[in-house]
Amino acid sequence: MSRRKSLTRREPNGRPQRAPPDLPSPTEVSRLRDAALAGMRDPVWGSMLGQMLLGGKITSFQFSVGRKWSELAREYSAISQSPQPPKSANLDPRGGIGPDPDSPKGLREARQQTFVKHQYLAAYELLKLTGDASMRAVVDTCEAGLHPVGLDGLNQLRKGLDTLGAFWSKKK
């Protein structure tokens, strides 16, 4: 008596047919990353988050949440005037000063900075509740561009990004 074969579609050689991958080919990923690093494509594809999305390690939802977190962290860092890594001197003689705080433009800017500060601190507190490993994975990957270490680091990153995404989608 013979065994029953499953009713899956088969290739001409008799093997079960595989579903076409949703991911781009490795060659396409490499070309896209190289073009981003050369300045011919959007620089996000050269970032760690972009590479992880192209590699299928995170979903597009997690990617968008990671980009939002990195943008929010950058704005918060600028608002709080945190120390920046060393860079070359600014040779622009004009420099710049902020608008007068009592002018309409200054009030708008102050409101925007307050909004960014509250949004960042609320999201940061939520990340702290997910655990130190998850918080560290999100901060290291989204802000510093470091690859998560091992499968546990990747799972912690996914957990943190999913938590932030649920928080931000609930607020809307």
For the stretch 98-132, pLDDT in tens is: 667 778 888 888 888 889 899 999 999 999 999 99
Spacing of C-alpha 108 from chain mean position = 28
Structure tokens at 23: 């991911």
Tell me the β-bridge partners of 16: 10
Say yes or no to pLDDT of 11 above 70: yes
Q: What is the pTM of this model?
A: 0.72
- 3-class secondary-structure state, position 105: helix
- Distance, CA of 6 to CA of 12 (rounded, Å): 15
What pLDDT digit, counting tens, does each position of 130-161 carry?
Answer: 999 999 999 999 998 888 988 999 999 999 99
Q: Measured between alpha carbons, how far apart are the two ends of the chain, in Å? A: 61
- CB 136 within 8 Å of CB 146: no
Look at residue 1 in the predicted model and tell me its pLDDT. Answer: 57
Look at residue 155 in the predicted model and tell me its pLDDT. Answer: 94
Residue 17: how many other CB atoms lie within 10 Å: 10
Q: Which residues, in sequence order, are CB contacts of 24 under 8 Å at separation 6+?
A: 32, 54
- CB 34 within 8 Å of CB 27: no
- Distance, CA of 107 to CA of 65 (rounded, Å): 29
What pLDDT digit, counting tens, does each position of 54-69 carry?
Answer: 888 899 999 999 999 9
Residue 94's pLDDT band (boundaries 50, 70, 90)? Answer: low
